[in-house]
Amino acid sequence: MPSTDQLGLQLSGAHAVAVDAYGKALHELQCYVGDPVASVDAALAEAPDLVMGQVLKGYLFGLSTDREALDVVKSCHDAAVRLPATGRERGHVAALGHLAAGRWHEAGRILEDVTIEEPRDALALLVGHQIDFFTGNTRMLRDRIARAMPAWSPGMAGYHATLSMHAFGLEEMGDYARAERLGREAVGIEPRDGWAQHAVAHVMEMQSRQHDGIAWMRDNAEAWTGDSFFQVHNWWHLALFHYELGEIDEALKLFDGHIYGEHSALALNMLDASALLWRLHLQGVDVGDRWAALAANWAPKAKDGNYAFNDAHAMMAFVGTGLEEPARLLLEAQDHAMAGTDDNAAFTREVGQPVTRAIKAFGEGDYATVVTLLRPIRGIAARFGGSHAQRDVIDLTLIEAAFRAGNGALARALSAERAVARPESPLSQLFLRRARALAA
């Protein structure tokens, strides 16, 4: 009799012990806690022919956006493609192959078809959702999960994760009330669900509810930080609330501790560190030598050229420390990337390179060039991935460049625009005051 997971989906090549280990890995990934790589390795040690074990491990490395992880992704795909599999599992293997080749969009489309046929495939939903995030496909962040929701109900294994993904998709589409309700419901079911915690934080960020956000993040910090490999990003959200309130010391305290106290070399963690320091840099805050360790860890990745969103954040660190050589190598890597055939060629060409060059120009004091580079891409910035909250750094850089370039008309227009979008934000009010002063 074939082995199945907790939702009754067949797992080819499995037996009871391997199924349990695989289920543990999936649950850890759904909560962003523990060590899902170790858990799936345990499953594969028990059942080397577990095709979904190879797939899950490949996804874990493929979604890291680190170039050095690609060898593992390809190895997992090579192993999986030779194993017996069901039609559903072959869909996963094909998606993993596209991910290994940098074809993010095609991987997402295949997983879309997998979940249309089997909406209870929790792994396909989760990985597809993450691909939608990395490719900036805002509508699919919501609709991929919305399509599957009728097949899910309270009490099903992983129901909380489906709620949390739906919450984040709703938030990115501006449906804040429903997003917050579902995110809170998910946390109520599984307090360790870091994605649900993060979805509610995004709602509060977009609504400029800084005090609510601080309370939300601090009231249950033990739950979402415990053994979590997603906690750096959630600490970053807390730091953003303090930053918006002008509580710079609190933001720096979080940077020195939870966000970058361990000097992580993982791209996903360094993104958050760069994003926070750059926001402070835009405000003229002296962050001391904090850029140095971060830039040192970005430098070996300067030539990677495999994900444009990373490139922009690496350039922030190079500008922050005045490192010319890695900045030059990064721009050369982007030129090479744009000649490629994978999806990152378009990510870089359409958005990534203009943003990266604008950041470098800002560091050189060439604020007019910053304005020239950023204005045309604001409306399409989602194409290189990230969330609305993360991409807000583009608008912040443009606004500050307009002020520093002495372009009073544009600075006033952008400040007024932001005040409408975020009327309760203290930062919006600061920009309005600066615009009035510039006009006077």
The pLDDT assigned to 157 comes to 97
pLDDT in tens, 279-338: 999 999 999 999 999 999 999 999 999 999 999 999 999 999 999 999 999 999 999 999
Residue 369 inside a domain? The answer is: yes
Nearest residue to 37 via CA among 26, 47, 46, 48: 26
The enclosing domain of 286 has a CATH number of 1.25.40
The total number of structural domains that make up the chain: 1
pLDDT in tens, 162-188: 999 999 999 999 999 999 999 999 999
Residue 275 inside a domain? The answer is: yes
- Both tokens assigned to 180: 């917050």
Residue type for position 52: M
Residue 14 inside a domain? The answer is: no
Collect all residues with Cβ–Cβ distance below 8 Å to 174 and sequence separation of at least 6. 206
**CA pseudo-torsion sign 144, 145, 149, 151:** positive
Residue 278 inside a domain? The answer is: yes
Residue 85 inside a domain? The answer is: no
- The beta-carbon contacts of 63-68 under 8 Å, at least 24 apart in sequence, are 63/127, 63/130, 63/131, 63/134, 64/266, 64/267, 64/268, 65/134, 65/267, 65/268, 65/306, 65/307, 65/309, 65/310, 66/266, 66/267, 66/301, 67/301, 67/304, 67/306
DSSP lists the bridge partners of residue 4 as 10
pLDDT in tens, 333-350: 999 999 999 999 999 999
Domain range for 302: 260-405
More confident residue, 407 or 220: 407
Residue 379 inside a domain? The answer is: yes
Q: What is the DSSP string of 18-49?
A: HHHHHHHHHHHHHHTBS-HHHHHHHHHHH-TT
Residue 114 inside a domain? The answer is: no
Residue 378 inside a domain? The answer is: yes
